[in-house]
Structure 1
Amino acid sequence: MTAETADRTAGTDDGDRRREQRGWYFYDFACSVYSTSVLTVFLGPYLTAVAKAAADAEGFVHPLGIPVRAGSVFAYSVSVSVLLAVLVMPLTGAVADRTGRKKPLLAASAYLGATATAGMFFLDGDRYLLGALLLIVANTSLSVSMALYNAYLPQIAEPAERDTVSSRGWAFGYTSGALVLVLDLVLYSGHESFGLTEGEAVRICLASAGVWWGAFTLVPLRRLRDRRLAAGEAHRPAEGAVGAGWRQLVATLRDMRRYPLTLSFLLAYLVYNDGVQTVISQASVYGSEELDLDQTTLITAVLVVQVLAVAGALAMGRLARAYGAKRTILGSLAVWALILAAGYFLPARTPVWFYALAAAIGLVLGGSQALSRSLFSHLVPRGKEAEYFSAYEMSDRGLSWLGPLVFGLTFQLTGSYRDSIISLVIFFGLGFVLLARVPVRRAVAAAGNPVPERI
């Protein structure tokens, strides 16, 4: 390994690399509160209630004159946000790789998302369009920032340690999510003793996630560093960021055709992760609207997910070291399919069964995501980390629009959230088959990277 390559893939020594890794963990710690408190717990039921307050006698709202069932507003907003992210992420990834400056772009996207989330404090009455707009901005910003954040992984971790580093990042995120959910539970459950209405307590919980996101983003921004471009790349100008970004996007898509096995993994990940992201974003709506569970039960259930996800991410990281990341991910997908099948039959108004389902989700959630990220890092050609991780993030969040759309359309047509939840099983079944067909060792070698002993 040359000195130049070493500088691109790690710090100048072990101490610098460890310092960057610790700083890198903290972006998961910062932004995961949005994913848990906002996207998973509070915003779905709250935005649905706001949309219902604005609905007509038939239960429809009419954004831009289009009739939309109020119960589908949240799911459709998530779909719009990730479609927008598809347009933005490749541009930022291309600019990051052309300039070698990921950190300013990470800061801009993180603070735009944090500001939009903090602005959810003003979501009340029948302002469902404001809620949808803030959700779209925050979710898009999260996707962009995560693409840039993930692109640091192959630069701060050696191949043999990426499963561990990625799993620790997810563990940090789930730890912060659990901590803030405890505080949210105290505030929400005791809102009357704090002199607050229920709606005010929810809006404070939403806004505080944005403040947390912005505050802890300072840690990775201080510790992560931008890498100098390789000699053959240093001449590439960053002119016309948007135009250059689109040209680079086309070039990236063409370049990825040279690595068909990497594309095969991305296709598999796109399919099964679409199911994961939809379960995460729609679980609270399913619990409140179909299972008739109160907000306190939903918060407690997600807290169970967060606590067990920390242990699950670390445990699955150890399983990957013993059996390989691919086999461990395949096992988790089988568990996901069983979870959804069980969810379809959950009786209403029985929190104990909902908690049991939450525990099962927690045990596979963090590990399946962390190992997918670390496995992909081995499939990225050197020097194209931001571009390829933008494509990965498009699969992670940017292209995870089909699941929410299917979920929302199923409810729109049937009026049943049970039908919506069972429709997601196909994503895990098809994803399992596609991933099983990917020869990951050949894929790593084809990308020009060293093949780990076990993958």
Structure 2
Amino acid sequence: MTNPAAAAPAVATTPKNDKRITNGWAMYDWANSVYPLVITSSIFPIYWSSVVKTATGTDSGKSPVDFLGFQVPGSSLLTYAISAAFLIIAIISPFLTSLADFSGRKKAFLQFFCYLGAASCAGLYFFDANTFTASTFVFIAATVGFSGSIVFYNSYLPDISTEDQYDRLSARGFSMGYVGSVILLIICLVINQFHEQVGISGTKAAQLSFLLTGFWWAGFAQIPFARLPKDPGRAASAGADNSGWLLNGFRELGKVWRELAYQPNLKRFLLAYFTYNMGVQTVMYVATIFGTDELHLEDSALIITILLLQIVAILGAYLFARLSEAIGNTRALSWSVVIWALICIAGYYVQAGWSFYALASVIGLTMGGIQSLSRSTYSKIIPENTPNTAAYFSFFDVTEKLSIVIGTATWGIISQQFGSMRYSILALIVFFILGLIFLLTLRGKKLREDSRDDTFLPPPPASAPAELGRPQLR
């Protein structure tokens, strides 16, 4: 069967492993990683808890607050807001990424979500007890901006590097993100610790941190925006009329969905990623609120712990990249999932003091590794040289976002019902065990199945010779 795209005019391809491009790509991690550190993990959750206490006139961040006429525990409301944000992006991202692939607007979508997230972070400058409800929606918008930009950013990985560089480039991106976010957190930490010396209140110091996060994100994003190549899009490569890019974008999504039926390895990996990521992301999003409201840790000690955790994560990202080179991606991922399950078991019993700091160190070591390896492993599984990288990564992104929705919602519901976050940890252990089981189904299989062109032909007959030279899962 003839591939219709074969007669299409030639389109310039992006040079792979070009240092200017790959370094520019990694700089987006440097730019946007200030959101998960400052907003998700450190200053914002602590500030959220303090605003809840002010709004309710109590000394507990778990006290019920009025939100749209409902009385919701403050700590649970934060997890529900995170769930809502990721549900929104999970619904819209498949359509946006298919449109981006066809129309060549991948970078434009990346820029839109970047500016949405950065502007919303800056908007949290106005967050206080009087703007609680409105600021909750601003926080949701910031989360949508962050998560929306990630799918387009990730989809560049197979476009700009060769397969043998996926693990290291992915690890470099995460490491750059940890370094950049640590620098900003140190700046914010100094402002928050010495706010009296500069004549501002503790509240204003925290709000300035949110403002700085928005400016840092949008400012440093200009580097990848300048260096990442233009995407000609499917319409250009096929010589088609680009005026119908909206409708054709939806058709591209349908093509990728049908192609998934012929890639059992990809489906197995997405199932494994969906389950273990419920645990990983939930831990990352609730760790600070757990330390604040469950363990009653001092704010300064908690932020310093998170700072050290990020530094350890840099080592972890490179350590697991090297481990994957030695024993294979799925084995390295399996070991990281086992460690995460043990982390949750220890988390159920952890108390304030040395045990908390020891646990945080292990989390930091495995946090960067499992995120980096997940991204690079998926890059190796999707069809080689596919023109639909953004659409393929949208399925990866939707899997991630839905896992966050379920994970954080489960945490919030169990915590609300039982009055303690420790019971929520038990659910996370189940997620990691299931993720490990699904990962083990990939052992000994080809990492990438037979890649076909974009006509999405049915799979080759069973008698066809096996494709040679593909990397193996171990």
- The two structures share one fold, judged by TM-score above 0.5: yes
Give the deviation of 1:125 after TM superposition.
2.1
Paired residue for 1:235, among 240, 257, 264?
240
Q: Distance in 2 between matches of 1:25 and 1:425?
A: 32
Question: C-alpha offsets along residues 117-138 of structure 1, whole Å, 9 cap, x if unaligned?
Answer: 1111000124221221112111
Q: Distance in 2 between matches of 1:421 and 1:126?
A: 33
Task: Please tell me the root mean square deviation across aligned C-alpha atoms, in Å.
Answer: 2.5
Give the deviation of 1:245 after TM superposition.
4.8
Q: Distance in 1 between matches of 2:261 and 2:123?
A: 42
Q: Which runs of 4+ in 1 moved over 6 A?
A: none
Question: Which one is further off, 37-46 or 50-59?
Answer: 50-59
Paired residue for 1:272, among 273, 276, 290?
276
Residue 423 of structure 1 aligns to a residue in which SS? helix
Q: Distance in 2 between matches of 1:323 and 1:287?
A: 35
Give the deviation of 1:400 after TM superposition.
1.4
Question: C-alpha offsets along residues 349-387 of structure 1, whole Å, 9 cap, x if unaligned?
Answer: x2x322211110111111111111011001212111000
* Correspondence 1:146-185 to 2 at 5 A: 146-185=150-189
* Correspondence 1:350-369 to 2 at 5 A: 350=353, 352-369=354-371
Match of 1:380? 382
Question: Which one is further off, 419-428 or 378-387?
Answer: 419-428
Residues 411 and 417, structure 1, Cα contact 8 Å, conserved in 2: yes
Q: Per the alignment, do residues 236 and 354 of structure 1 end up closer, same or farther by CA in structure 2, a change over 3 Å counting?
A: farther
Residues 47 and 131, structure 1, Cα contact 8 Å, conserved in 2: no
Q: Per the alignment, do residues 347 and 404 of structure 1 end up closer, same or farther by CA in structure 2, a change over 3 Å counting?
A: same
Residue 449 of structure 2 aligns to a residue in which SS? helix
Give the deviation of 1:180 after TM superposition.
1.5
Q: Does 1:63 align with 2:67?
A: yes
Which blocks of at least 5 consecutive residues in structure 2 are unaligned?
A: 1-5, 453-466
Give the deviation of 1:102 after TM superposition.
1.1
Q: Does 1:29 align with 2:30?
A: yes
Q: Per the alignment, do residues 186 and 5 of structure 1 end up closer, same or farther by CA in structure 2, a change over 3 Å counting?
A: farther
Residue identity in the other structure for 1:292: H
Match of 1:451? 470
Give the deviation of 1:236 after TM superposition.
6.2
Match of 1:38? 39
Match of 2:344? 340
* Correspondence 1:37-436 to 2 at 5 A: 37-55=38-56, 59-229=63-233, 233-235=238-240, 237=242, 239=244, 241=246, 245-246=249-250, 248-348=252-352, 350=353, 352-381=354-383, 382-436=386-440
Q: Distance in 1 between matches of 2:281 and 2:10?
A: 35
Residue 351 of structure 2 aligns to a residue in which SS? coil
Residues 38 and 213, structure 2, Cα contact 8 Å, conserved in 1: yes
Give the deviation of 1:182 after TM superposition.
1.5
Q: Per the alignment, do residues 404 and 264 of structure 1 end up closer, same or farther by CA in structure 2, a change over 3 Å counting?
A: same
Give the deviation of 1:251 after TM superposition.
4.2
Q: Distance in 1 between matches of 2:21 and 2:402?
A: 26
Question: Which one is further off, 255-264 or 272-281?
Answer: 255-264
Q: Distance in 2 between matches of 1:48 and 1:236?
A: 53
Give the deviation of 1:425 after TM superposition.
1.2
Q: Distance in 2 between matches of 1:100 and 1:377?
A: 20
Give the deviation of 1:113 after TM superposition.
0.7
Residue identity in the other structure for 1:27: Y
Residue 82 of structure 2 aligns to a residue in which SS? helix
Residues 52 and 63, structure 2, Cα contact 8 Å, conserved in 1: no
Residue 364 of structure 1 aligns to a residue in which SS? helix
Residue 129 of structure 2 aligns to a residue in which SS? coil
Q: Distance in 1 between matches of 2:229 and 2:160?
A: 10
Q: Distance in 1 between matches of 2:89 and 2:65?
A: 25
Aligned-pair identity in percent equals 33
Residue 200 of structure 2 aligns to a residue in which SS? coil
Q: Distance in 2 between matches of 1:6 and 1:167?
A: 30
What TM-score do the two structures reach when normalised by structure 1? 0.92
Residues 178 and 313, structure 2, Cα contact 8 Å, conserved in 1: yes
Q: Which has the larger radius of gyration?
A: 2
Q: Per the alignment, do residues 66 and 407 of structure 1 end up closer, same or farther by CA in structure 2, a change over 3 Å counting?
A: same
Residues 82 and 399, structure 1, Cα contact 8 Å, conserved in 2: no
Question: C-alpha offsets along residues 189-216 of structure 1, whole Å, 9 cap, x if unaligned?
Answer: 1121121211111111122111110001
Give the deviation of 1:246 after TM superposition.
4.8
Residue 452 of structure 1 aligns to a residue in which SS? coil
Question: C-alpha offsets along residues 221-260 of structure 1, whole Å, 9 cap, x if unaligned?
Answer: 000012334676442646373x655554444333322222
What TM-score do the two structures reach when normalised by structure 2? 0.88
Residue identity in the other structure for 1:22: N
Q: Distance in 1 between matches of 2:298 and 2:192?
A: 11
Residue identity in the other structure for 2:375: R
Question: Which one is further off, 156-165 or 180-189?
Answer: 180-189
Give the deviation of 1:18 after TM superposition.
1.7
Match of 2:457? none
Give the deviation of 1:176 after TM superposition.
1.0
Residue 257 of structure 2 aligns to a residue in which SS? helix
Q: Distance in 1 between matches of 2:88 and 2:254?
A: 17
Residue identity in the other structure for 2:83: S
Give the deviation of 1:305 after TM superposition.
1.1
Which blocks of at least 5 consecutive residues in structure 1 are unaligned?
A: none
